[in-house]
Structure 1
């Protein structure tokens, strides 16, 4: 496993935020200075442009009323957190190494910034679906979404999610999505966002589905500058008191207690670990936000208790044991290939278990079959095991390498994942009582495996079947294709089985015929899709689609329309599509606004509805 260490020197990464604007030297904008309707935001615009967070355009304008896109907001958030600052450069490098492949599925233009937000624990991968995917990145950021992102930026996602007031602050509370209501109340309480206007009775309204403008974003950033207190430092863990959410850290002889919370992320070798697996004496690099540690990166492990430590588990035979002034060293060898071996130093606090009882280094013998836990390049726990083992858990992945090895990744009841390798002599595999091939196994299967000297000799898998209905939001065409589906407002990512069946309007189709923003249903085989069904766009007797525009993505050339029955439908257009106003004048796709009523004429083509004429009423 690659060790991602915090380096002593750093390189500042300077990324141009080209989607926001081109860089200019003048910090005075004629469309701000000469527009009295923007006076309320002028000071914030000046402050944020001078700080370099948000910039103007080459012609000397700021375009204060232009809407901010979702991806632009994420880029600004990463800048606020230090993605371009020299002292955070190593975090950025580690983030890209850890999440580069993940981010590539969503947005390849700004990998550093998105990896950084994931690594810091500010965003989750489901957030990338909502804000950075092809279908969503360039859509306008709505005010309720801005409220959620600002809470996350403060490292207060858990706190905001649980926040509540009664009665609701805003008269249009019913228009705020239920999942966003606590966030809106939280940012209001913190003075980050407030109402837009008042209703007829003089009560404040939040206007949750109104797009956030550049002027409003500048104001938000200015408020966040005052609220966002961040710093990074290195030190050594002195003591842990997680019952009281406190870690004492020694920074060059100065020991101070630092707070952690539910949003704190701890990492070792780039991967997320539980806070309770941290050890006293560990060297760390930390990032603090608003008085709590947001990120702890373990640089080297300390000598604290390792009884609860996590690490890489290896089943092997002891090939040799040596002890010298340099320490106690154990060579572990593959039970089926003695040339495949590695030598490790035993940690000073390594725990030894011999036939279920406590032992020591001298209790080990050559050719003992052992289970070794390796962390930080050292053996931190080792136990002598029976050569015959039975392992049960949930299958998460089946992997094949170029040398014809087969690996099964299995998650135990505590959520810990372990890799197991199939014996070179092969293994018997059954699924739901019938003989099966490895490729027929599916993530989510419940498995019971028999192992001999650490190698799988028998696999018994049990599948589960589940139905689903949702909105298709992302399609990833790769060696292992997958789709992301919004089910009850939550983004769920599913792999497609190699034999998955796709139907559009009852006709056989392929993954290439699918498009985002259509309603789909189907069945899961464990956690992988076996069948995926989509309906065609419903039209009237004239072949027309009529409804209200709920979304438009000019990059993907798709308009989402809701009909009178509340059904959401995706309409695609191309260079041959004609756009007309009801007056007969021509118009363009960019001129179509949400809420507009449209009448669309077109036809089905390979499972999608392509418009030939779009009339905006």
Structure 2
């Protein structure tokens, strides 16, 4: 083991000009004969870790500067040559500002390793440089701190509450540095002099540094210590707090982990898997209930190593700053900064993943940070705040629950419905005002709540600036000015506009050149005078893939789709001009699609063109034994085919069908045989396989009158859609006059008399009110 590490170090290290003058392979020095550090110095020299100050001398008593000591420390980390080059490339620009110019050529690469591995921070390097201490002799106690950090033992040092030492001059060691000196002394890396003194403020010689370096490298080899750098790793992993540990006779360990963000899981650890605690190899005895662990996986998903993080400490506070690499929160009035890396699980609003789910413009106000005993931020939950959105107002309506419903067509052509609470801030052309339908087609800038889906915190309407949306017919790039021809989607009229000299052109949200756009793109143009100041372009057709989460029938009917990334996207459907609808590769209709269906929505020029749905297979089947109506929905008890009993609470709006025809959730009764599509504890859809007969009367609003299928889809007073078979029905008006199915239109009020056949309602009389 030791030999392998020495060879690796020798191959990886690139020595600095200030420390190297001797040729490779020199293993003895004339001034080391009889010296107490001879063995250590020449072992390091043979490995290529250190070299002499001339062809024959090492200068063992020359004082080490802070810079030289730091570069020596960087060589204990085990960072590979290829990673060192990548690390330097990432830090090069900042090092030009942090290091003295005369050090850049020979110290920058290994100083970058110091910064990346945490041997010192940017602020510490800046302080060393500004004071000139980087070129001065380093004290023994300061070196102790840097070396402990290089050995990846800083978290252990910081966790110590007791660190008594027997040095005669222990009292002279700075209080903040005692834990570092204690660890180095405990592990035999530093020792006292003949008088048992540590000499904390004494200068460090090259011989002393070489001896400490060799002991540190040997210790790290024995304990399996190396610098694990998140940004330079790519393996998969899973993390969680241990809730159960079971060890088999063959040495296999079964771990059960809980995780608030990614859920509970059980994983089998092969016998002999590497387990690290405090960054040092240990045994499976370190795997205890209540300890957070990260399990690193091979390409095939097999656990390769386990990092024990200890008990988690949770910090909650207001977010004071946030970037892709760090979050700072206020805890009891004091700022606390924590690093976000690829081993940090993140929940930002409703999205869960890594740092990529953080919207840096999200305005999050609160954060819950879970930190392990190594000081690593393992979980980050961001909440509060808003996300900006913009577009053109499509409609403004009163909301049954209070406030208003605002439908906005984004610059990508997708129309989204937002809830505008009564207490939301509204400004019209910079002045406080109220939202109104007269602002349809005006530009609106919005702040959308990160916590409540599609709820607006504030809106700012601009009625002065003119915007149009349409298709890009053609453009001309001229020597004096550019021109663009846009066909307005509302009027169908094509108009040619000059492009303003300072006009901004974007494609899918990114700056683009006008000459790079293609014809027939969907565009939003901001017009000032006769010229365009902003041209925002998107593909004419866009596809959104996901799972149907809700269908809210009305004017318009709103289809909500959850994408694979967890985003909720809404689409407006006009029941009088429905798009092409397919289900399981067959032509279908709006009443046939269900919540839980997989779907691809194609939008062309701001209009939904096709709905391509695929049904999910039922995963729960049984007989209803009891139905209970509650404020949260309907509680349905089922007896499964294997004799077990389960209970589900079914929310209003869940798709309920028989023979692909929609029926009311409230039409379900005991003894019905049903098949459910269930995700977790959520019922996505219900199919009635066998029902019972009962007489009834229905009333509601016409959604879809289908002459071809002789059916009538209505929305009942509770909002539930139901499809009625009217093939044998008579039609009358409220005054008794005869009428016909063909005469019915969307939004007609009807009363329907008939009876259930199974779960299908067959009408005998339809009265149009």
TM range, smaller chain:
0.3 to 0.5
Normalising by the residue count of structure 1, what TM-score does the alignment of the two structures yield?
A: 0.43
- Structure showing greater radius of gyration is 2
Larger RCO (alpha carbons 8 Å, 6+ apart): 1
Normalising by the residue count of structure 2, what TM-score does the alignment of the two structures yield?
A: 0.35
